[in-house]
Amino acid sequence: MSTNLTELEKRRLLRIAFGSCSGFFLCKLLGWPFGIFFTVFPMLLLGMLPRFDRLIAAQFLGSAVLNVVEVWLLYTFFAPYPPLMTLAVFAVFCWHFRLMASTPYFLLGAAGLVTLSTLLHFSSYVSTNIMDMVATIGLASLFSVVAAAVLYWLIPETETVAPPPRQNLTASQINHRTLMGAILATLSFMVFQTLDLKDSLSAQVATMLVLFPMTYQGTLIAAWKRCQGVAYGCVLAIGVQLLLYDLISHLLLVVLALFITVLMTAKLHLVERAGSGMGFGALTTVGILFGQYMQPHKDILYGTAYRLTSVTVALLVLMLFAYLLDGFLNRFELTRN
């Protein structure tokens, strides 16, 4: 694997760094809550796909609007009835994974999946102001699209980037991937709700991101790389905390530290050339820790160690269920991969 970036990858690297850091700076400067969305959304938009156009922008914005409607419908009609709520959540997850497996709108399903799982989890807690969270997601999505458009204008592509190749899947393969993703995502939702794991945002997001391959083999590889990436991202965040120490209240210094760490993790993501690998795990971990937990007069050492442990345990449990579910679905012709 070559560790040298091509000219196109160097430009992507700068866009990811400037996009995530500008979102982080804006939300901290204005004192907006849920800084994680302003930091991580640009990473998802600029890091998951090697190109940007109107269709991608529309899918990203559409996923935010769709998530708000989905959460409102779920909690309006099904919240008082836990069994029905679980079935409704499963149906929504099925729809998202079906989009990812069988249509050109992969980003609509994938981006919406991460946001939906976060909204579903936090909106169930009385202490969370759901309107603030919905408004933040809308603003962060709009900001990410605008920032991506501006950055592609300031740092344009030097050549045309071809879209990723479409997979030609059979009907049984589509059924297999849809059910694999939806059942595991629903199990994740049930576990985090039942055990009241409000502080395990990194673990919850990790259980969603590793499902993107929608196969057991792909999910297993993604989970292993995600654990490595989370460990690397946590080490970098702790290093920043120790280096800044009592200077953590200086916003410009924190933004500079974030810029450097994003450059390091985004470069690893790009040289892997493997989609959601170790580098992408480290990149989003840095975004989560900086966006949500890096604050003046707050020590993140314990929180970082907790997140590393919770992610590892969550992914180990998820892989066990993925192995059992994959074997079960492959027994039937309609759901054989």
- Per residue in 244-295, pLDDT (tens digit) is 777 777 888 888 989 999 999 999 888 887 667 788 888 888 888 887 766 6
The whole-number pLDDT of residue 297 equals 56
Count of domains forming the chain:
1
Tell me the pLDDT of the chain averaged across its residues: 84
The whole-number pLDDT of residue 82 equals 84
CB 235 within 8 A of CB 295: no
172-196 tens-digit pLDDT: 888 899 999 999 999 988 887 777 6
Cα dihedral across residues 45, 49, 50, 54: positive or negative:
negative
CB contact set of 182 (below 8 Å; sequence gap of 6+): 90, 93, 94, 96, 97
Q: What is the mean pLDDT of residues 62-82?
A: 85
Encoded tokens for 12 = 């992507």
**Alpha-carbon separation of residue 76 from 71, 79, 85, 162, 191 (angstroms):** 8, 6, 10, 42, 22
Angle between the N-to-C axes of helices 216-244 and 251-272, in degrees from 0 to 180, rounded to the nearest 10: 150
The whole-number pLDDT of residue 293 equals 67
The whole-number pLDDT of residue 25 equals 92
- CA nearest to 46, candidates 305, 289, 262: 262
The whole-number pLDDT of residue 337 equals 78
> Within a domain: residue 281?
yes
Q: What is the mean pLDDT of residues 67-91?
A: 86
The residue with tokens 């970036």 is 5
- pLDDT higher than threshold 90 for residue 147: yes
pLDDT class of 71 with cuts at 50, 70, 90: confident
pLDDT class of 165 with cuts at 50, 70, 90: low
> Within a domain: residue 163?
no
> Within a domain: residue 1?
no
CB 233 within 8 A of CB 283: yes
The whole-number pLDDT of residue 126 equals 64
- CA nearest to 278, candidates 290, 264, 292: 264
- CA nearest to 326, candidates 226, 224, 220: 220
Phi, psi of 299 (to 5 degrees): -85, 125
DSSP per position, 127-179: TS-HHHHHHHHHHHHHHHHHHHHHHHHHS--SSPPPPPPPP---HHHHHHHHH
The whole-number pLDDT of residue 240 equals 83
pLDDT class of 198 with cuts at 50, 70, 90: low
> Within a domain: residue 2?
no
> Within a domain: residue 162?
no
Longest CA span, the chain: 61
Element (H, E) at 270: helix 251-272
> Within a domain: residue 47?
yes
Q: Between 141 and 158, name the one with better pLDDT.
A: 141
The domain of 214 spans 7-157+168-335
Lowest mean pLDDT of 100-114, 250-264, 321-335, name the range: 100-114
> Within a domain: residue 127?
yes
Percent of the chain at pLDDT > 90 equals 21
The whole-number pLDDT of residue 320 equals 92
Could you tell me if residue 275 is left (phi over 0), alpha (psi between -120 and 50 degrees) or otherwise beta?
left
> Within a domain: residue 22?
yes
pTM check: above 0.85: yes
- pLDDT higher than threshold 70 for residue 30: yes
